[in-house]
Structure formats: structure tokens, C-alpha cells
Amino acid sequence: MRCHVATSCHVVWLFVLISGCWGQVNRLPFFTNHFFDTYLLISEDTPVGSSVTQLLARDMDNDPLVFGVSGEEASRFFAVEPDTGVVWLRQPLDRETKSEFTVEFSVSDHQGVITRKVNIQVGDVNDNAPTFHNQPYSVRIPENTPVGTPIFIVNATDPDLGAGGSVLYSFQPPSQFFAIDSARGIVTVIRELDYETTQAYQLTVNATDQDKTRPLSTLANLAIIITDVQDMDPIFINLPYSTNIYEHSPPGTTVRIITAIDQDKGRPRGIGYTIVSGNTNSIFALDYISGALTLNGLLDRENPLYSHGFILTVKGTELNDDRTPSDATVTTTFNILVIDINDNAPEFNSSEYSVAITELAQVGFALPLFIQVVDKDEVSPQIHGPSRPAPPCFGGDPRP
Ligand SMILES: *[C@@H]1O[C@H](CO)[C@@H](O)[C@H](O)[C@H]1NC(C)=O
Ligand SMILES: *[C@@H]1O[C@H](CO)[C@@H](O)[C@H](O)[C@H]1NC(C)=O
Ligand SMILES: *[C@@H]1O[C@H](CO)[C@@H](O)[C@H](O)[C@H]1NC(C)=O
Ligand SMILES: [Ca+2]
Ligand SMILES: [Ca+2]
């Protein structure tokens, strides 16, 4: 608005002096901060309550200025001191949640308001440790897993930028049996495993970011369970097998129970028992399931086939689930001695002996009579071994 040209300049001047009005248009203030043309960077670790910047504005009329911020979200995060234009942070920033804002600031000279938008970029700091995904980590592998086999992948991510978000893996402490690829988290077997020695491993994986100044790390457990495979032959227990049996023990008498066990302890298989050799005349029977060796016939030590005893070869065979025999077997020998019992009365070599003597025979006359007595039993039933020849006869010369 311009002053009206009045009839009297004096009147005009007076009017101007009184009203303070030069008749000029008010010029609105304007922001002078350069960030309005680019962006304003605020680090995400800026403490709440600290000043993040100061708004600067010029007013050609040198009017007193009032600064402000508009918008619901912007007002939650930023407060502006009206007189100075200092901008305060009102609540914590997190780049990983919200990495930029568009905030509208205002400046007013009481006659008019100017608003301008600024792009605020939230600057990253390494404030997140890596996070493991899909926990818990557990894997079952057979004990015969070859060295070099990858068995598991752990996965951790870190939302920070750059090195602070780049994850490296390690075992802590290192394992003798497993290695982890530091970049990809792939776990591999590096040494032969044996279920019979170790059934499970509990490893700790360290995922660390690579921030130069303050790396952050997270630990996770990895359980590796070793499963048994049938890699062990059975063994007989309570060896050696050596037994004495009395001859004429009744058929069915249990000589001894033999027992073999599967050395694979995870899921041990049952055993089937058989006699491989030495079972003359099938005099013994071996129960396939129980391992009970029983007498299967009449055991007469005086039978030369039996008198030396027996050396049985017995076999234990691991049975598959369907009870079929597997390849895993064990054999051993079983020595059986037959103990004599005195079952033979001395025998004359004839049921009757006759001799003719004359009535003239005098007292003391030797009868021409030959009698042999044989005892097939051993001299002492306690002594065993190959049967000896029948004892020599005694004969003739009996004195009345
Ligand atoms: C790791 O997990 C993240 C998040 O679930 C996923 O995006 C990424 O593809 C995974 N990486 C691997 C190698 O599995
Ligand atoms: C994980 O490994 C890093 C790098 O070796 C190490 O600095 C950090 O202390 C480890 N983390 C833990 C929790 O031990
Ligand atoms: C009995 O044995 C004796 C001595 O060996 C022999 O002389 C005799 O003839 C035998 N008698 C019979 C009936 O075999
Ligand atoms: Ca961050
Ligand atoms: Ca990080």
C-alpha cells in the first residue's frame, strides 16, 4: 500500500511520522539454512533433549520472528524454540525404524507465515547386534557323515548399514569336529564322528558385525545330534565259554546260555545264535533267540565220539528289524568236557565160566580158569581226557 498523495505534504509527513507507515508492503521473512535445499542429517544416536539445528531466517523489515514446526508426526519428534529457532529432539530416533522425515518448519513475522519443508535423513550408527533367524538350531546327522559334508546353515542378519551390518560367524570355542563358514554360516563336518564315543555336540555360534570401533555380537546354540548307524559287529560277553557236563545228563539240560550284544548302542539289534561246527550228532541244541545251549540227546562218555568232549563254534548274528540275519556276526568257540560218572559195573568177559577138575585135585591146586574183569569207567571220574585203554585183566590164580 502506498501513501496517498495528499494535498499537503506536511500533512503527509505528519501522518507518516504518527502512523509509522511509509506506505510500504510488508516483506515476509525467509529461511536462510542451506539444508532446505538439500537435507538435514541427524544421527540416530542423538540424545533426546539435545538441539539438532537452529532455524535461521531473515526479515527485510527486521520484524521480530517466530519459528515453529507443523505436522503431527514432526511435532512428536521435534520442538522448535519460537524466538531462537533452535530445534530440539523430543524422542529417540532409530534409523532402522524410520530413516527419513519430511518436516515443515515455519517462520512468522506476525504479519505473515512462511513454511518450508526439509528432508531430514537419520544417520546410521552401529546400534544393532546381529539377529539369528529360525532358532532353535538343532540337527541330527548319522555318525558316518563324511568329512566335508555341509550339515547346517545358520542365518543371522544385522539391520545396520555397511560394516556394522555385515555378519561374520564363528564357533566359540572352536570345535574339533565341526567348522563354520565365516561368511555364509555353513556348518561342515571336519573330523570323523563316532556315535559310540559322542552322541551329541552342543556348539555356540558367535555372529558378530564388522564395525571397526564397536562390533556387536550375538550367540546362538547349535545342537548336533549324532545318530547311530550299524557299523559295529556284535561281541560275545562273559567269555571264555567252557563248561563241563556230566554224561547222561537228561536231554534238555541247559549247558549254558551264551550271550552276544550289538556294540551299536543307539538302537542295538537283536542277536540270533547258531552252532557253526563241532556239534557231533547234533548232541546239542542252541536256541536261536535265547542263546540257551541244551543237551539234545544222550551223552555217553563211553561213546568214543563224545569222550574227547566237544569244541563247538557258535555264531551270533545281528538281526534286522524283520528278524532276517544281517551281515554283522561274531563267532567264538565253546569247549565242553564230558564228565564221567561211574555208570559201568565191572564186567566179566563171560557170563559163566566152567572148568573141569578131578576129584583128585588137592587143596592148592590152581584151577585152569581165566576170568577177565573190565571197567569202562575211568579210574577216577574226576579226571577227564581221552579215554584210556581198558585196565588190564587180572586173571587166574584165585586162591580159595
Ligand atoms: C536369512 O534370513 C533372512 C531373514 O529371514 C532372509 O531374508 C535371508 O534370505 C536368509 N538368508 C539365508 C542365506 O538363508
Ligand atoms: C564374538 O566374536 C567376536 C570376534 O571374534 C568377539 O569380538 C566377540 O567378543 C565374540 N562375542 C562374544 C559374545 O563372545
Ligand atoms: C576171558 O579172558 C581170558 C583172558 O584174556 C581168556 O583167556 C578167556 O578165554 C576169556 N574167556 C572168554 C569166555 O572169552
Ligand atoms: Ca543403526
Ligand atoms: Ca550392527
Q: Which residue from 208, 211, 212 has its CB within 8 A of the most atoms of ligand 2, so it is best to mutate?
A: 208
Backbone angles phi, psi at 77, to 5 degrees: -90, -30
The per-residue pLDDT for 295 is 92
Nearest alpha-carbon partner for 159 in 202, 124, 123: 124
DSSP for 199-237, please give it. SEEEEEEEEEE--SSS--EEEEEEEEEEEP-S----EEE
Q: ∠ CA 24-29-34 to the nearest 5 degrees? A: 145
| 98, 156, 208 from 159: Cα distances, Å | 12, 10, 12
CA 215 to ligand 2: nearest atom = 7
Which atom of ligand 3 approaches the CA of 349 most closely? 1
Return d(Cα 53, Cα 36) in angstroms, integer: 12
How far, in Å, from the CA of 272 to the mean position of ligand 5? 61
- Model confidence, pTM: 0.62
**Residue ranges of E strands in 265-375:** 271-277, 284-286, 292-295, 310-319, 325-339, 347-348, 373-374
Distance of CA 319 to the CA centre of its chain: 28
Q: What is the Cα–Cα distance from 302 to 323, expressed in whole angstroms?
A: 40
Residue 356: per-residue pLDDT: 67
Contact predicate 306/340, CB 8 Å: no
Sign of dihedral through CA atoms 88, 93, 95, 99?
negative
CA 268/CA 319 separation, integer angstroms? 10
Residue 125, all three cell numbers: 550408527
Rounded to the nearest whole angstrom, what is the distance from the C-alpha of residue 154 to the centroid of ligand 1?
A: 9
CA of 233 to the centre of ligand 1 (A): 44
Residue given cell 543307539 in the structure block: 266
Nearest ligand to the CA atom of 183: 1
Q: Produce one character per residue of 239-270: b if its CB has 16 or more CB atoms within 10 Å, e if not.
A: eebeeebebebeeeeebbebbbbbbbeeeebe
Q: Give residue-wise pLDDT tens across range 357-374.
A: 666 666 666 666 666 666
CA 334 from chain center: how many Å? 42
172 alpha carbon, closest ligand: 2
- Return d(Cα 54, Cα 69) in angstroms, integer: 12
Which grid cell sits at 205? 555360534
Q: Which of 139, 142, 143 is closest to 152 using CA atoms?
A: 139
Q: How far apart are CA 196 and CA 191, in angstroms?
A: 15
Among protein residues, the one with the nearest Cα to ligand 1's atom 8 is 155
190 CA to centre of ligand 2 in angstroms: 22
Task: List phi, psi (to 5°) of 246.
Answer: -75, 135
Q: How far is the CA of 349 from the centre of ligand 3 (A)?
A: 6
Q: How far is the CA of 167 from the centre of ligand 2 (A)?
A: 12
Between β-strands 325-339 and 241-246, what pairing exists: parallel, antiparallel or unpaired?
parallel
- Within 6 A (CB) of ligand 2 lie 170, 172, 206, 208, 215, 217, 219
Give residues (CB < 6 A) around ligand 1: 133, 155, 157
Of the listed ligands, the closest to the CA of 132 is: 1
* Structural contact between residues 102 and 120, judged by C-beta atoms closer than 8 angstroms: yes
- Which residues sit with their C-beta closer than 6 Å to ligand 3? 349-350, 370, 372, 393, 395
pLDDT under 50 in the chain at which residues? 1-3, 5-9, 11-21, 380-400
User: What is the per-residue pLDDT for 213?
Assistant: 93
* Count of beta carbons in the 10 Å neighbourhood of residue 201: 17
Q: With left for phi above 0 and alpha for psi between -120 and 50, is residue 49 left, alpha or beta? A: left
Distances (CA, A) of 2 to 11, 103, 253: 15, 37, 138
- Which pLDDT does position 186 carry in this prediction? 97
